[in-house]
């Protein structure tokens, strides 16, 4: 009890309390974020750190949130290390702006926190984005460039006005001077003509004045009055039109009953709908062209096909085509003759290689299956097509010329925008040895493709 009641102890305790209060207040008003709180360190690089001072403020939105801990040289650039308060909202997308702190060249570091949705910047990480556009030195450099350019412009103007014709501006001024001299000479040499032109203009204006002030029955005033009377007649005609349209709206008269009678309107709508359906059906007519050729592996020759398809609906189409067959067109001639009472029949087969064959088919679609029939290569025939892979792949089987039966099977694959490859077999059941495999390709164009092609062609 004696120690605690001694005056020395009380004085010492008072000194400790006052010192603690002073330390706490110093930390409270200090800009150093390390005082009694969590901190985070960060760094960034600058090409020029002039104007930045160690232990100066680092701000966010103009509010001090830390200090510059150190500035040192690293790999030819200035590494600036800052110490921020631990609760500073700085994310990985934060950026640094170097801003002037007056006109004496001092600068401070302003940190833009970045997107709050991004991960926060951890202590010791680098701030990658640095903006030093506010540098006074750079601004002075740009101003110096501008002043240099202005001085060059002023020098060019001075030399031009002094008669330096070696430069473009001097030549322009010289040309202007020549033009003004020529104009002065022309005006001096043609004073009489100019005076005559002015006199003609005065006479013309006088004539116009007389026409306007002519009070006769054929003068301008009378014509103007006639025009006003015509306008009044037009106004009366418009009133009559308004009355007629009013009667039509009220259902008066034949035309009014025609417009306002519901039965008549319904019949007109039905007729118009029928016309629209007819036009719409014609618009739905799809036209397509198909050309393909294939190489016959047995005979070593090429066979070409060109066809036109007319499709009035999605369930049917008509096809017309020509075929260039290297085998030509065969014709059989039977001649009967009677010699000595004996009738003799002679059969002669001829082949014409310069003739083409024709196709004329009608086809019916059943979803992915198509059944067709008609004329195939100048003979009656039938066929079926089956589509797969959204109609990119087609399997075909055709039979024709039933007197000497021909069977053709093939597969076709559309690989890009109407271009396709094909393969299969011709005359597959022939006993003459003419049958064989074929391979080839072709191009298939619809009317939509032709419209697109025509829009791209220059005219």
Q: Give per-residue pLDDT as tens, 391-415.
A: 899 999 999 988 788 899 999 999 9
Please state, in angstroms and rounded to a whole number, the distance separating the CA atoms of residues 107 and 124: 23
Q: What's the pLDDT band for 21 if we cut at 50, 70, 90? A: confident
Surface-to-core class of residue 401, CB atoms within 10 Å of its CB (0-12 exposed, 13-18 middle, 19+ buried): middle
Quote the pLDDT of residue 1. 53
pLDDT higher than threshold 80 for residue 143: no
Specify the higher pLDDT residue, 116 or 141.
116
Diameter over CA atoms, the chain: 176
Quote the pLDDT of residue 419. 94
Place of tokens 């086809």: 363
Q: How do the domains of the chain map onto residue ranges?
A: 32-134, 286-328+352-456
Q: What SS3 state is found at 1?
A: coil
62 φψ region: left (φ > 0), alpha (ψ -120 to 50), beta (else): left
User: Which strands sit side by side in the sheet containing 63-74, from one edge to the other?
Assistant: 125-126, 39-46, 77-85, 63-74, 57-60, 107-112, 95-100, 129-131
Crossing angle of helices 220-249 and 253-260, in 10° steps, is: 50
pLDDT higher than threshold 80 for residue 275: no
Q: What's the pLDDT band for 280 if we cut at 50, 70, 90? A: low
% of residues, the chain, pLDDT over 70: 82
Quote the pLDDT of residue 37. 60
Quote the pLDDT of residue 216. 78
pLDDT higher than threshold 50 for residue 36: no
Among 396, 403, 400, smallest CA distance to 438 is for: 396
Q: What's the pLDDT band for 165 if we cut at 50, 70, 90? A: low
pLDDT higher than threshold 80 for residue 287: yes
CATH match of 286-328+352-456 with 2.40.128? yes
Q: Residue 201 to residues 176, 195, 206, 216, 397: CA-CA distances in angstroms?
A: 30, 10, 9, 25, 92
pTM metric for this prediction: 0.40
| pLDDT one-digit tens code per residue, 226-252 | 888 888 888 888 888 888 888 777 777
| pLDDT one-digit tens code per residue, 327-366 | 777 777 777 778 777 888 777 777 777 778 999 999 999 9
CB 288 within 8 A of CB 311: yes
CB 256 within 8 A of CB 249: yes
Average pLDDT over residues 13-24: 73
| pLDDT one-digit tens code per residue, 298-315 | 877 889 999 999 988 888
What is the distance, to the nearest Å, from the Cα of residue 98 to the centroid of all Cα atoms in its chain? 41
Quote the pLDDT of residue 284. 66
Q: What's the pLDDT band for 172 if we cut at 50, 70, 90? A: confident
Among 400, 394, 421, 398, smallest CA distance to 409 is for: 398
The mean predicted confidence, pLDDT, of the chain is 81
């Amino acid at each position: 009890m004696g120690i605690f009641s001694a005056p020395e102890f009380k004085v010492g305790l008072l000194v400790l309390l006052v010192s603690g209060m002073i330390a706490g207040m110093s930390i409270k008003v200090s800009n150093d974020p390390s005082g009694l709180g969590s901190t985070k360190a960060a760094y960034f690089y600058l090409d020029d750190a002039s104007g930045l001072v160690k232990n100066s403020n680092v701000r966010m939105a103009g509010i001090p949130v830390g200090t510059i801990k150190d500035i040192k040289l690293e790999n030819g650039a200035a590494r600036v290390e800052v110490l921020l308060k631990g609760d500073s909202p700085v994310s990985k997308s934060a950026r640094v702006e170097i801003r002037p702190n007056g006109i004496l060249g001092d600068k401070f570091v302003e940190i833009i926190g970045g997107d709050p949705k991004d991960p926060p910047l951890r202590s010791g990480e680098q701030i990658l984005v640095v903006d030093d556009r506010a540098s006074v030195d750079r601004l002075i450099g740009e101003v110096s460039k501008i002043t240099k350019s202005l001085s060059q412009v002023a020098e060019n103007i001075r030399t031009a006005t002094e008669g330096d014709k070696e430069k473009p501006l001097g030549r322009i001024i010289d040309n202007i001077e020549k033009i003004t001299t020529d104009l002065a000479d022309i005006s001096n040499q043609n004073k009489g003509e100019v005076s005559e032109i002015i006199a003609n203009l005065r006479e013309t204006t006088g004539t116009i004045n007389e026409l306007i002030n002519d009070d006769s029955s054929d003068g301008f005033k009378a014509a103007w009055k006639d025009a006003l009377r015509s306008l009044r007649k037009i106004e009366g005609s418009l009133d009559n039109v308004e009355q007629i349209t009013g009667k039509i709206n009220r259902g008066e008269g034949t035309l009014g009953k025609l417009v306002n009678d519901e039965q008549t309107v319904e019949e007109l709508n039905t007729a118009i709908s029928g016309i629209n359906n007819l036009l719409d059906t014609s618009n739905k007519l799809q036209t397509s062209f198909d050309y393909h050729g294939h190489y016959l592996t047995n005979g070593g020759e090429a066979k070409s096909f060109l066809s036109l398809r007319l499709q009035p609906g999605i369930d049917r189409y008509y096809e017309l085509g020509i075929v260039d067959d290297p085998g030509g067109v065969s014709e059989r001639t039977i001649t009967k003759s009677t010699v000595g009472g004996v009738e003799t029949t002679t059969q002669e087969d001829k082949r014409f290689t310069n003739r083409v064959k024709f196709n004329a088919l009608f086809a019916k679609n059943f979803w992915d299956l198509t059944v067709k029939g008609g004329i195939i290569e100048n003979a009656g025939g039938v066929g079926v097509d089956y589509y797969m892979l959204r109609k990119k792949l087609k399997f075909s089987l055709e039979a024709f010329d039933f007197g000497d039966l021909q069977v053709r099977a093939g597969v076709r694959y559309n690989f890009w925008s109407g271009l396709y490859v094909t393969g299969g077999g011709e005359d597959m059941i022939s006993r003459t040895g003419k049958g064989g495999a074929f391979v080839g390709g072709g191009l298939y164009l619809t009317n939509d493709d032709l419209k697109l092609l025509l829009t791209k062609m220059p005219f």
